Amino acid sequence: MKTATNKPDYVLFDRTTRAFIYNMQTKAVQRMLDFDYASKREIPSVAAIINPTGSDSYSKFFFGPQEILLPVYKSMQTAAEKCPDADVMINFASFRSAADATLEALQLPQIRTVVIIAEGVPERKMKEVIARAKELNKVIIGPATIGGIVAGAFKIGNTGGTIENILESKLHRPGSVGCVSNSGGLSNETYNIIARNTDGLYEGIAIGGDRFPGTTLVDHLLRFEKNPAIKMLVALGEVGGNDEYEIVKALQEKKITKPLVIWVTGTCAKAFKTEVQFGHAGAKADLEMETADAKNKALREAGAYVPDSFDDYDKLINEVYTGLVKEGVIIPAPEPEIPKIPVDYDTALKSKMIRKPANFVSSISDDRGEECLYGNKTISQVVREGLGIGGTISLLWFKRLMPQYALKFIEMCLIITADHGPAVSGAHNCIVATRAGKDLVSSLVSGLLTIGPRFGGAIDGAAQMISEAYDTNTPPAQFVAEMKKKGVNIQGIGHRVKSTHNPDLRVTLIKEYAQQNFKETPLLNYALEVEKITTTKRDNLILNVDGCIGVCFADLLRNEMTKEEADEYIRMGALNGLFVLGRSIGLIGHHLDQKRLKQGLYRHPWDDIAFLNE
């Protein structure tokens, strides 16, 4: 008998079978695709993913060494329309929604088989699903199943485990044995046993451990009986229920004629004083006939090959197989070459099989562990130890945790440079950009781009100039004279408003803190000597905020690291970073202020002051 898909009714899956995966199960999908590649399938067995909580899109997977895109559909109906060749749905829905999703799938004319992975589907709902499937002449595998496999043709989800286990169990090519069991875990173990004692598995199905499976052990054994490619049957039953007696009946009525090796697990139950509920919902004997011993006895009497214990299961399978080979019923095929499956990068890296140079190198932070590291400290440690912004900057900028006095000085610099009123160029640009309707980042950048030697960016320049003069033992007077002769302004010296008669209190704060807390301040001392000379020429040629921060920070760095390393940080622009970071705080404030004032619809009382000062 042929079905509408031109497959015999005993064939649920073959090398052309295509399936829908219900719910986003990326690992299961990738395992199916790896099996496809190992089996030398021409097209992937997964047609599409149905993700009811997502949206229509694509998801990347590997098919051998190549990346492919699999469609993801929100609607089952859309998936069916787009992929008419798919006739299987592997249902990874939760136990709450698995039945409803299955009923919806059964309504699609193209779907012949639904596999329900979830365990604990409500029994009333499962009975409804089974009845509907029988009405429509469709097949249910599960619930509480790992699925099944047709060796070298089609694999359901995670059946058979990893690709390494697939190849070890010879599931990438067909053998002659049909296998069915209740347990998914034991089915994988049985496939391994079959691989070592026969020419391998042809098809294996785990019907699932819930009390009401969609198909039974005998349903699949009867399918295997019809399949001429299957020469030998292997099964595992379990304590509880009456399903194995259906096999007994089929053997007695000669509906099963192929040799069947079967063992019913749970014979240890008699060692307990009370009835034992094993792992599956149906694995409990309520009557004597439901015990494993009674079932094994009945199967043996009906003509099945039943070992004395599970320990002899593999030996009996080998014995029956060897007999079929001697009779010529099974002619073992030459073993094909074992395919090589590319290893995923993450897997190979964890296994230390490969090494790869980093695209980006960072020596200040690391996010590969459970928590990001700042230097050698986790973020939790930075917070719990109260290292603050100063400690964070110390770790990320200078790759070390400096003493507390240094951390406090860093934070002082940020506070002092945070804002200098709306009249300065950076604040002015930020305000104008905000009123022009720009977003926060654009407005902030507009203000930051004005920072330079003339507008608040002389910290590095001042540190470099003063350091070079000090290091070359140039007397302050000579230094001032040389700069005048070259026509070069001394960075960090001079103020538009402040003077010796109207000192900048910010400079006073920085200078006093450094003098009281730093180990030594040779560069600051040198800058103050320069200031004495420049202020004799004009009283506003004072050491300004940029200059004071620059020379003090250069002193600080030289106190906590080598001179060469400190000079390198200054050349890299680290000190101006303090100004950029501090000024960002103020610029963001100006942006938010202007937003509150509705981008200029209400005139700010500071406007006149700002433009007058400019």
Annotated catalytic residues are 280
Greatest CA separation for the chain: 121
Residue with tokens 């470099």, as numbered in its chain: 464
Which whole-number Å values give the CA distances from 15 to 147, 227, 332, 371, 468, in the listed order? 17, 15, 21, 46, 78
Helix (H, G, I), strand (E, B) or coil at 37: helix
Both structure tokens of 123: 């029994």
Q: How far apart are CA 284 and CA 417, in angstroms?
A: 77
Residues 477 and 526: beta-carbon distance below 8 Å: no
Which whole-number Å values give the CA distances from 489 to 265, 483, 485, in the listed order? 93, 7, 10
φ and ψ of 91, to 5 deg: -95, 105
Residues 610 and 423: beta-carbon distance below 8 Å: yes
DSSP 312: G
Helix (H, G, I), strand (E, B) or coil at 607: helix
Strand (E) positions, 74-153? Answer: 88-91, 113-116, 139-141, 147-150
Residues 115 and 88: beta-carbon distance below 8 Å: yes
Q: How many CA atoms lie within 13 A of 193 on its CB side?
A: 24
Q: How far apart are CA 100 and CA 95, in angstroms?
A: 10
How many beta carbons lie within 10 A of that of residue 173, not counting itself?
21
- State which amino acid sits at residue 427: A
Q: How far apart are CA 192 and CA 190, in angstroms?
A: 5
Helix count (H) and strand count (E) of the chain?
24, 16
DSSP string, 392-453: HHHHHHHSS---HHHHHHHHHHHHHHS---TTSHHHHHHHHHHHTT--HHHHHHHHHTT-BT
Q: How far apart are CA 614 and CA 111, in angstroms?
A: 77
- Give the residue among 23, 27, 64, 30 at the shortest CA–CA distance from 46: 30
Helix (H, G, I), strand (E, B) or coil at 41: coil
Q: Residue-wise over 73-109: b if at least 16 C-beta within 10 A, else e?
A: beebeebbeebeebbbbbbbbebebbbebbebbbebe
Q: Which residues contact 283 (CB under 8 A, 6 or more apart)?
A: 182, 209, 238, 239, 240, 266, 277
57: part of which helix (H) or strand (E)? strand 57-63
Q: How far apart are CA 577 and CA 559, in angstroms?
A: 19
Alpha-helix residue ranges (DSSP H) falling in 214-344 = 217-226, 243-252, 292-301, 313-326
φ and ψ of 329, to 5 deg: -70, -40
For the CA atoms of 440, 442, 443, 447, the dihedral, rounded to the nearest 10 degrees, stands at 130
